[in-house]
Structure 1
Amino acid sequence: MAERGRRTVRDLRRGNRASLLRHLYFEGPLSRQELGRDTGLSAGSISNVVGELIADGMVEEAGAVESDGGRPRILLQVSATFGYVVGVDVGETRVRVELFDLALTELASADLPLSDSGHDVDHVVRLALAGIESVVREAGIDDHEVLGVGIGVPGIVEQGSEVPGEGHGIVVHGQTIGWDAVPLGRLLRAGTELPLYIDNGAKTLGQAEMWFGGGRGSGNVVIALIGSGVGAAVVADGSPYHGASSSAGEWGHTTLQVGGRVCRCGSRGCLEAYVGAEALLGRWAGVPEGASEENALAALLAAADHDPEAAALLAEAAEYLGAGIADLINLFNPQRIVIGGWAGLLLGPRLLPAVREVAAAYALRHPCAQTSIELGRLGADAVTVGAATLPLAHFLDTGGERVVRVPAARDGGADRAGGSGAAGDRAERPGPLRNRVARAVR
């Protein structure tokens, strides 16, 4: 038996596979020589591990480049079609489901409105399962090609001490949507055998922005999600900060005004009660009748050019948001603060100059001068993309190990619901995420 804490040959092999797979995924295509230079592994180790990864179908050749006087060097990349991942965003008004290949090219999608049932747990579970089934069917792939399903939810997510991907021990506390210790992992497991990964939606957004968007290249970042509500993902020294019970990042429920407006969480004076889309629209008399929250917020922005009430409301929101960002600067000393979420991206172009000005007025000068405040780069569906990175991260971190499937307990819990009528319209299929980000940054 190996001594406790001592790495075995299997551990070393798995670590080498993970190191090369991650490096190829984020920095590829690369040659074997570049992999050796960047990872510090010997030429023999590179040759052995790359040979394994190619034989397993995880890595493929991607052309060649000229070398200095020698034979052309073969470039390698992670095979986009080795497997597929699903991302699910349990949002405020809908459940959004997308299926991606490993290059995060969207292959299928479904939009499932929450309708009058709101966040009734059984209703949300049925929609999520219907959406997962729909996108797998639409993409024309087999269930066994799916590496896993990532799900972003509002609230605090307790992961438990289970096997990754199993799902049974995951519990969600979503105070603002009426979820109290909901065993979401177990309920979803009753309807699917696919590996399940669940986390807070702001944290999945944060991972997406760190991997591909506004946080890439920085180790200390706060990614803010502004939608109907408000949340944040805190990244310190390159690692997400979860806190003692995974509740870190509930920035929307920090108090900006003692005894202030009532928040959805039941407290008073929370940041969310001043800058969340639901709170903003609740204080505007001009909301168009029957408009969705997204359309109503767009109408508020348009009205601000001629409606003093709308303009004042947005000015107040910018001041509270700037003050909230100043708190983040003083507490965490980040290099960047990235504002995302559908409402954050909608409000950002108009409010960002005022937000920066207010943040500078409230924050300590020295850390504020070192912090940039930017908009997210991945669009309004970044939570879904981030959710898909949960199973992808497990795949990369384990060197490509597949999770052992757990049979769905179909005789208890949620049914496999939905059918063909539950899926939303097929979205236009964009190119790989990395290419879309590159175009956006240009």
Structure 2
Amino acid sequence: MKKTMAEVQVVRPSSDQRESGRLQVLDTIRSAGRIARIDIAQATGFSPATVTAITSELLAAGLIEESSSDDQPSETRRGRPRVTLKLRGKAHRIAGLKVAQRTITMLIVDFEGKTIVDHEMEFPTARVSPTELVDRILKIVDATCRKGGFDRTGLSGLGIGLPGQINSVSNFVHWSSSLLERNVELGALLAQRLPFPVFVDNDANLVAKAEHLFGKGRESRNFLVVTLEFGVGLGIMIDGEVYRGQRGCGAEFGHTKVQLHGALCQCGQRGCLEAYVGDYALLREANGVTVGEPYTDVAQLVAAARGGDQVAMSIFERAGAMFGMGLANLINIFDPDLIILAGRSHNKRHIFLDAAVTRAMQSVVQVDAPPPEIRTHGWGDLMWAKGAAAYAIEKVSGLTVKDVTRNAS
């Protein structure tokens, strides 16, 4: 018996499905740079009609724009130019910010990720109260915006990379070496002072995102980034996504234990890897036995070791052994395609990195297959800030698409 229209259950996509579809199309356009609608359909698996409908909404919202340019020289083109879609850079200004030991670096980009302006500020102390950190962030936000010729109301979002254990979902800081207090609602404090959303994450996670989008991890979907600076961090990229753990407290490579009842770490525990290879740890050990002027920078300690100083050489020898042990554990646990050793001061650390990598390869489980590639990538705080900006672009895109979905309902 034929059913009437009233008896037929019409299944329509849910709001979440529509939002997910729009975000997938937007991400596809972002990844491609410029792409035709038919190619979006092939990349996403959506029908051409669905792609046309979604891109029409994104065009109307001002998030994307059409372009008829292509790579073919004008004198060899035949027929009507192919219409492609690209992100509309002017749709948003988005900022990324890296909190380092005594500096904060900020970068403002457009919606395509192109740099508009950057700025760096130095501060006299490393660890401060939550209120003081918020004040410092506001200070550099305003200074960077002024440098770009606009004010803070011209921003759509801010990504912040902070060392420590951070729940990025709630912008909650369990612990950070930049803060004097634990369990800080940093996102809520900033929300009271800023007219745009803020997204806080562990800085090593944002380095992994930056390496995936702009750096040495662009061709890999499964890799690890080990950051080696004042402390030690780890960013884990699995199938193209950053892994953070249930509470945002995962990937704390620097706080894995390498010595029972060992050296004191800045986290308050003993025997952490960071307590043997971080900048502060190397200087602490050197100054504990050095007679005369204390070392104030790792570069001084490196110079001493290269000059034949036995104490300095022994410090780096132990650091290399500890770091090699840690790398071997990472390889045995994750079996990644690639490990990137990243950080501003990695050039200084070549004095023990080569030995550490050799030790790691000797200590991993031996199988008849090539080991993961290990690369070094030295870059400054601007790259960290770029990772924070990329994270904020991702988050702002999600919020904007949510608005598009709400308005289309």
Same structural fold, with TM-score higher than 0.5 when normalized by the shorter chain: yes
Distance in 2 of aligned mates of 1:399 and 1:117:
36
Distance in 2 of aligned mates of 1:64 and 1:394:
30
TM alignment of 1:265-414, pairs within 5 A: 265-285=267-287, 296-309=297-310, 310-343=312-345, 345-347=346-348, 349-366=350-367, 369-376=370-377, 379-397=380-398, 400-401=401-402
Contact 2:343 2:378 in 1 (8 A): no
Residue type of the alignment partner of 2:205: K
1:383 deviates by 2.3
Residue 252 (structure 2) aligns with: 250
Higher relative contact order (Cα pairs below 8 Å, separated by 6+ residues): 1
Q: What secondary structure does 2:156 align onto?
A: strand
Q: What secondary structure does 2:306 align onto?
A: coil
1:148 deviates by 0.5
Change (3 A) 1:102 1:313: farther
Distance in 2 of aligned mates of 1:112 and 1:287:
34
Residue 124 (structure 1) aligns with: 133
Distance in 2 of aligned mates of 1:183 and 1:129:
16
Residue 6 (structure 2) aligns with: none
1:246 deviates by 1.4
Contact 1:172 1:179 in 2 (8 A): no
Change (3 A) 1:189 1:42: same
Q: What secondary structure does 1:279 align onto?
A: helix
- Counterpart among 59, 64, 70 of residue 70 in structure 2: 64
Residue 210 (structure 2) aligns with: 208
1:360-415, Cα deviation, whole Å (9 max, x unpaired): 01111239833111123764433212221222112334564569xxxxxxxxxxxx
Distance in 1 of aligned mates of 2:403 and 2:44:
24
Residue 407 (structure 2) aligns with: none
1:175-216, Cα deviation, whole Å (9 max, x unpaired): 645321112122212211211111111112222222222222
1:74-113, Cα deviation, whole Å (9 max, x unpaired): 3332122221111122222222222222233332333232
Distance in 2 of aligned mates of 1:119 and 1:288:
30
Distance in 2 of aligned mates of 1:255 and 1:17:
44
Q: What secondary structure does 1:17 align onto?
A: helix
Q: What secondary structure does 1:157 align onto?
A: strand
Residue 41 (structure 2) aligns with: 36
Distance in 1 of aligned mates of 2:21 and 2:79:
27
Contact 1:333 1:367 in 2 (8 A): no
Residue type of the alignment partner of 2:70: A
Residue type of the alignment partner of 1:50: T
Alpha carbon RMSD of aligned pairs, Å?
3.0
Contact 1:18 1:399 in 2 (8 A): no
1:346 deviates by 3.0
Q: What secondary structure does 2:39 align onto?
A: helix
Change (3 A) 1:381 1:287: farther
Q: What secondary structure does 2:233 align onto?
A: strand
Contact 2:153 2:195 in 1 (8 A): no
Q: What secondary structure does 1:132 align onto?
A: helix
Q: Which runs of 5+ in 1 are unaligned?
A: 1-5, 161-168, 404-442
Distance in 1 of aligned mates of 2:127 and 2:28:
42
1:340 deviates by 1.5
TM alignment of 1:104-143, pairs within 5 A: 104-116=113-125, 118-141=127-150, 143=152
Contact 2:226 2:340 in 1 (8 A): yes
Change (3 A) 1:402 1:352: farther
Residue 236 (structure 1) aligns with: 238
Change (3 A) 1:367 1:118: farther
Distance in 1 of aligned mates of 2:55 and 2:176:
47
Contact 2:107 2:382 in 1 (8 A): no
Distance in 1 of aligned mates of 2:333 and 2:371:
14
Bigger drift between 23-32 and 112-121 goes to: 112-121
Residue 83 (structure 1) aligns with: 92
Change (3 A) 1:7 1:148: farther
**Identical amino acids, percent of aligned pairs:** 28
1:348 deviates by 5.2
Contact 1:65 1:72 in 2 (8 A): no
Contact 2:316 2:351 in 1 (8 A): no
Change (3 A) 1:290 1:383: farther
Distance in 2 of aligned mates of 1:69 and 1:284:
70
Residue 8 (structure 1) aligns with: 13
Bigger drift between 46-55 and 203-212 goes to: 46-55
Distance in 1 of aligned mates of 2:164 and 2:134:
16
1:273-296, Cα deviation, whole Å (9 max, x unpaired): 1111111122335899798x6xx2
Residue 162 (structure 2) aligns with: 153
Q: Which runs of 5+ in 2 are unaligned?
A: 1-10, 405-409
> Moved runs in structure 1, 4+ residues, more than 6 A?
286-291
Bigger drift between 85-94 and 109-118 goes to: 109-118
Q: TM-score if structure 1 supplies the norm length? A: 0.78
1:142 deviates by 5.2
Change (3 A) 1:7 1:188: farther
Change (3 A) 1:52 1:322: same
TM alignment of 1:180-219, pairs within 5 A: 180-219=182-221
1:50 deviates by 2.6
